[in-house]
Structure 1
Amino acid sequence: MKNLTTLIFATFLILLGCQQKKATPKVKEEKVIEKTLAQKIETAHQKESFLKHEAISFDAAISFGGSEVFNANITITTSSDLAKITYQNGDEIYVNQQDIFVSPSLKDNPGVRFHAYTWTYFFLFPYKLNDNGTKWDYNFKTSETSSTYTTAKLSFEANTGDAPDDWYISYTDVKTNVLNHVAYIVTAGKTKEAAEADPHAIKYDSYQTVDGVPFSSEWGFYEWNLTDGLTNKIGAGKITNIKFVDNFRDTFSIPKDYIKK
């Protein structure tokens, strides 16, 4: 009888153990996917908050060699498909994706497409890193010995935008992933080889926060090369009156007498 009781008790413990095992199934561990550097930059620059707004407006004054080359108010959608540029003298440029329309006073100005896209792209750069047609080389390194930044190279697939042969090299703070400066070439009106013989860089300084989103209010333009990085300062930009705006799409209307360029 004692042996039977022992056997029954042992059987009970085995059954109890089996029930406990069934009650605690194994939890499958999810693999954590590491963000790309481009995604980390977007996070540092609050892209999610930025895109919650319809459009943003700012004044940009750009000078090279001591001479002002651009001074205008820019209003552009956060998705960058529509923009209105109003110069201090009243001249206007309207941008509708790849098409631009200018006031009659600018019909013979050869630089309107350059001005229409360049300054807005520099301003929106942290939010354009994963656009269609972008290609990133995260293993790219320069030959600089004193650089303390994380570098990566951005290029583009063929037929992307106005200048698919352009490239950009981003320099970001190792800890914060905020952009410090970006080297680039401009192929507008020249071959890629000619552009690569004269690369430049834009340095983003004096960040200020607007509705929780950081924007650089001081730009510096420099000569740049793979060995020395930033060298001679050749230009400057002052960005002021940065503010998000509503209802820009509803009010966007290209005047009938404006000329397509």
Structure 2
Amino acid sequence: MNSTRARLSFAILVLLTLGGAVGCASTPRGAPPQDFAARFAGPIERAHGMDRWRAAEAVRTELTVVFGGKQSLAGTLLFETKGARSRIDTVDGATLVFDGAEAWVTPADAAVPRARFHLLTWPYFLAAPMKLRDPGTTLTDRGAMLMGGERLPAATLTFGAGVGDTPDDWYVAYRDPTTG
């Protein structure tokens, strides 16, 4: 994946986490949770190439993180599609690794604030369309909500106790009814 396309994909997925749009059709309220999750997430997964995702062992992309107008991280991100392991090789020469349980940085004296956050957050956000139905996640129908001047089908994504580092986080995902 080229750098421009990776940045564009990253920007789109960040929008998802902030309430951006992803595609599907409307779902009636009151549907059983599993049925709703399948109807909401299924078209999103197809639109984002779930079959190719499942066939891949890992994803590699260039990553630049900017908070408050300041670059906080830049480098190459590599992460598993079916596991939790991730690695970031920064442009400054540091290597950040999450081995599935622990995060570490080398060299040991490298100044990389919030290494664990970076190792867990960016792979999750980049993979968000493929993670909507992961074990421990719940999608709740929000009906149609206004986003960008348009009413779109929406769902709240929440996490069960003990899921991830921040199980109290939640996100609103919107679906584009035409792009699925």
Task: Note whether the superposition's TM-score is higher than 0.5.
Answer: yes
> Structure 1 CA distance, aligned partners of 2:148 and 2:103?
43
Q: Count the aligned residue pairs.
A: 144
2:116 is equivalent to residue 113 of structure 1: yes
> Could you tell me which amino acid in structure 1 is paired with residue 109 of structure 2?
S
**Aligned with residue 44 of structure 2, among 41, 45, 54:** 41
One-letter code of the match for 2:60? Answer: S
Residues 151 and 170 of structure 1 are in contact (CA less than 8 Å); yes or no, is this contact kept in structure 2? yes
**Over aligned residues, Cα RMSD in angstroms?**
2.2
2:167 corresponding residue in structure 1: 164
Equivalent-residue separation in structure 2 for 1:90 and 1:48 (angstroms): 34
Report the Cα distance in structure 1 between the residues aligned to 2:128 and 2:59, rounded to whole angstroms. Answer: 14
| Alignment of 1:138 onto 2:144 | no
Q: Match for 1:174 among 174, 177, 180? A: 177
SS at match of 1:132: coil
Structure holding more helix per residue: 2
More contact order relative to length (CA 8 Å, sep ≥ 6): 2
Q: Shift of the alpha carbon at 1:42?
A: 0.8
CA displacement 1:199-234 (0-9 Å, x = unmatched): xxxxxxxxxxxxxxxxxxxxxxxxxxxxxxxxxxxx
Equivalent-residue separation in structure 1 for 2:112 and 2:72 (angstroms): 13
Larger Rg: 1
Alignment of 1:214-253 (within 5 A): none
Identical counterparts, % of pairs: 29
Task: Tell me, in whole angstroms, the C-alpha distance in 1 between the residues paired with 2:144 and 2:165.
Answer: 27
Distance 1:135 1:41, change over 3 A: same
1:151, distance to aligned residue in structure 2 (A)? 1.1
TM-score of the aligned structures, taking structure 1 as reference length: 0.51
Task: State the Cα distance separating 1:134 from its structure 2 match.
Answer: 0.2
Provide the C-alpha distance between the structure 2 equivalents of 1:97 and 1:67, rounded to a whole number of angstroms: 29
Q: Contact 1:42/1:126 (CA < 8 Å) preserved in 2?
A: yes
Query: Is 2:70 the partner of 1:102?
Result: no
Q: Is the 8 A contact 2:155 2:174 kept in 1?
A: yes
Q: Name 1:152's counterpart in structure 2.
A: 155
Aligned equivalents of 2:169 and 2:75: distance in 1? 25
User: Can you give the 5+ residue segments of structure 2 that lack an aligned partner in the other structure?
Assistant: 1-34
Q: More displaced, 96-105 or 53-62?
A: 96-105
Instruction: Trace 1:123-134 onto structure 2 (pairs within 5 A).
Output: 123-134=126-137
Residue 86 of structure 2 is matched in structure 1 by 83
Q: Secondary structure at the match of 1:163?
A: coil
SS of corresponding position for 2:134: coil
Preserved contact between residue 92 and residue 102 of structure 1 (Cα < 8 Å) = yes
Residue 58 (structure 1) aligned with residue 41 (structure 2): no
Structure 2 CA distance for aligned equivalents of residues 45 and 72 of structure 1? 24
Structure 1 CA distance for aligned equivalents of residues 162 and 127 of structure 2 = 20
1:180 aligns to what?
none
